Structure 1
Amino acid sequence: MTTALTRNSTMPVARYGGNRPSPRIKLDRKDIVIQHPDAETGERLMGEALGAVDRDALHGILKQLMKASVILQKPDEDNLAFMISMVKGIAPRDSLEAMLTAQMVSVHVATMRAASRLAFTEGLSQQEGASRTLTRLARTFAAQMEALNRHRGNGERAITVQNLSVQDGGSAIVGNVAQHAHLTVGEPGTAKDAGLVPSDETGDYQHDRTEILRGATA
């Protein structure tokens, strides 16, 4: 039994984190048919794969992926199945990720097409054009990956300071420092202000240090 995708309901169809096999897609003229014995289960499984929150989102993403799967001016079922599988592998967790992952797999397909054209191009001018297209697509894909990672990390990017040089009159923090999305710069001060010398009982600290040095040279 197969069921054509409909848009007559907004009932949620996605349950994130599912590992069940996704149903296959059959293209019947302009219709997208989800092949599964149970219509509701088929839609739910496909929604899980694409991160779609309801039937409208599922219909929209499938239609967009179908257009991106075109080979020789005709949508290709095998190419579409591959793209759906790649989206499922990335496992979008919300609507933003669903849209971004759909773009990512579409850019990947376009990148491989550009690579194929470059491989079969002989003229220098055509090679340069294909090379520029391939480079731009590859950079776009890398930027999309970074955007996805930053979104999943709530927009934070850790910066770790491992080596630090302090001049006279400056201040420092001893140890590894991790900041998110920005760096904190301390006000100029003394070693005491920076924590290199205990803030309390400084006189006792200097006295103990003197006694230790005397003991070492005795």
Structure 2
Amino acid sequence: MGKIEKAKTDDLGVKVSGSARAGHKVELAQKSALCKIFGTSDEMQANALLSHCLKPLKADEASDEHPANDERTFMLSVVRDLAPRDPVERMLAVQMAATHVATIRSARWLANTENIPQVQAHYTGFNKLARTFAAQVEALRKHRTGGEQRVTVQHVNVSDGGQAIVGDVKAGGRGGIE
């Protein structure tokens, strides 16, 4: 497998270095870079959300000493790409990024198991994390759409003598006088 270069931090406008033990150093291209990533104008909230992104990472996933495992920039890029629009979306985006990293970590552990009890334990954890991520995606979709579902019909055949309705059709009970 070829060498994978680390994503440019210029894209995010944020560079996180250091480690949990020695302390993380955050460099911002602009004062508002974190606010932009988290979709907020509140700098205190953006700083807290950055901290929440770093907390679930293992030491080797948030350290300059292990650049191949460093997930800090990835976590921030996921949140940025989800483009949170309100506090619920901001918190959910951080959870989704953390759940994804934990799912991949769990998959790695599963791939390196050597006996049946380990396989069962890691498979259970992986499965729960994967299902949690799917539930988070659905929660984000419902939050963004207000829970409404839309169905788009791409092709309709109407036979001779038939009728087609074009427009919003709402399912309801028996017809009545309105």
Aligned-partner Cα distance in 2 for 1:83–1:47: 15
Secondary structure class of the residue paired with 2:55: helix
SS at match of 2:26: strand
**Cα distance, 1:109–1:21 mapped onto 2, change above 3 Å:** closer
In the TM superposition, what is the alpha-carbon distance from 1:26 to its structure 2 partner?
Answer: 2.4
Residue aligning to 2:158: none
Equivalent position SS for 1:68: coil
Does the 8 Å CA contact 2:106/2:126 hold for their aligned counterparts? yes
Gaps of 5+ in 2: 1-10, 65-69, 156-162
**From 63, 71, 84, the counterpart of 2:76:** 84
Q: Look up the match of 1:116.
A: 108
Residue number in structure 2 paired with 1:50:
38
Report the 3-state secondary structure (helix = DSSP H, G, I; strand = E; otherwise coil) of the residue aligned with 1:105: helix
Tell whether the 8 Å contact from 2:103 to 2:130 is kept in structure 1 after alignment. Answer: yes
Asked if the contact 1:49–1:88 (Cα under 8 Å) also holds between the matched residues in 2, the reply is yes
Distance 2:114 2:89 in 1: 39
Q: CA RMSD of the aligned region, Å?
A: 3.0
Question: How far did 1:97 drift?
Answer: 0.6
Contact conserved, 1:24 with 1:81, CA < 8 A, in 2?
yes
Q: Is the contact made by 2:103 and 2:129 (CA closer than 8 Å) also made in structure 1?
A: yes
Gapped regions of structure 1 (runs ≥ 5): 1-19, 163-172, 194-218
Give the number of aligned pairs.
154
Aligned to 2:134: 142
Structure-1-length-normalised TM-score = 0.61
Query: Runs in 1 of length 4+ with deviation above 6 angstroms?
Result: none
- Kept in 1, the 8 Å contact 2:38–2:84? The answer is yes
Give the C-alpha shift of residue 159 in structure 1: 5.6
Contact 1:159/1:178 (<8 A) preserved: no
Counterpart code for 1:145? V
Sequence identity (%): 31
3-state SS of 1:53 partner: coil
Cα deviation for residue 32 of structure 1 reads 4.1
Matched residue type, 1:85: S
Q: 1:125-175 deviations in whole A, cap 9, x for unaligned? A: 11011111111100100010011111111221236799xxxxxxxxxx964
1:65-111 CA-partner distances (Å, limit 9, x unpaired): 11122235x73363111100111111111111110000000000000
* Contact 1:51–1:91 (Cα < 8 Å) also in 2: yes
